[in-house]
Amino acid sequence: MSQKEVHILNGDALRKQLPQAIIGKRIVCREAFIEGPLHTETSADFWNDRASHYQSWYQIPAEEYKEKSTDEIAKVRQIRRDANVYLWFEHDLFCQCNLWLMAQMLQERSFTGKAYLVLPVVKSPETLWQGFGNHSEEDILKAWNNKFLIAPREWRLMVACWKNYALGKQELLQDNYEQLLPLLPYCKEVFKAHIERLTSPSRPVLQLQRFKEELNTNEFASVFQKFCEAEGVYGYGDMQVFKMWEQLNA
């Protein structure tokens, strides 16, 4: 990949939002590393395990997963080692897990260029977890202008986050992640939410049960909306929450 300027974006929606004035190659991370099988490195076995997870859990054919996710993410391996890479990721756990994996992949690429983190503009506490979704073009440009150069130590910490996350070493993950507090001001809240989803019953499932009872409904859409408003820290999409909903109602 010959482009010197490369943007790694968490999701297709953000690619559509990015103004043409912001030049450079766009790579979209279409994945959800907040769940499913994890490896410390992105080997062929890792991607095969991910494809199997999506096929068995969501009935997404392996070929479709490869076309929409693996082939796109594989472009990270083609980035020039001396490129300027801009990582557009939000504060929630969903995005943070994806961010750690991108750091790991660039590490595997022996990346030596400059990496920048582009975070959404937080207009109010109520919009914190909405990320780039509520951004106007002016907001996107403001986020772009406020990007952070990731220092080597911070980069090593992100890679360590991925490895310890993949290994399930929660205490080490917490130590790595909270050292990134100057760069990621909500990391303590995000890590707390991560731990609370590992309990049984998990925080997300308990919240779904609570909203189901409060709304006195078996309609997923209305419960999902309430869940997103209250538990935006997770950044879950409808697919992930619907699987929890199915388990809750089983």
Predicted pLDDT at 96: 98
- Residues 31/74, Cβ–Cβ less than 8 Å: no
Q: What residues does each domain of the chain span?
A: 5-196, 203-249
Predicted pLDDT at 239: 94
Name the average pLDDT for the chain. 96
Chain segment 37-56, per-residue pLDDT in tens? 999 999 999 999 999 999 99
The residue among 225, 209, 190 whose CA lies nearest residue 91 is: 190
Predicted pLDDT at 168: 98
* Burial readout 33-45 (b: 16 or more C-beta within 10 A, e: otherwise): bbeeebbeebeee
Cα–Cα distance for residue pair 180/120, rounded to 1 Å:
17
**pLDDT surpassing 80 at residue 2:** no
Chain segment 112-170, per-residue pLDDT in tens? 999 999 999 999 999 999 999 989 999 999 999 999 999 999 999 999 999 999 999 99
Predicted pLDDT at 250: 79
The residue among 165, 176, 230, 242 whose CA lies nearest residue 203 is: 230
Look up the pTM and report it.
0.96
Predicted pLDDT at 3: 86
- In the structure, how many helices (H) and strands (E) does the chain have? 12, 5
| Secondary element (H or E) of residue 88 | strand 84-88
What value does the mean pLDDT take over residues 24-28? 97
Give the pair of three-digit tokens for residue 120: 């959404």
Give the pair of three-digit tokens for residue 228: 């997103």
- Residue 186 DSSP symbol: T
Predicted pLDDT at 1: 60
Cα–Cα distance for residue pair 115/75, rounded to 1 Å:
16
Chain centroid offset of residue 207 CA: 21
Share of the chain above pLDDT 70, in %: 99
Chain segment 87-116, per-residue pLDDT in tens? 999 999 999 999 999 999 999 999 999 999
Give the pair of three-digit tokens for residue 64: 């479709």
Cα–Cα distance for residue pair 225/82, rounded to 1 Å:
43
Share of the chain above pLDDT 90, in %: 92
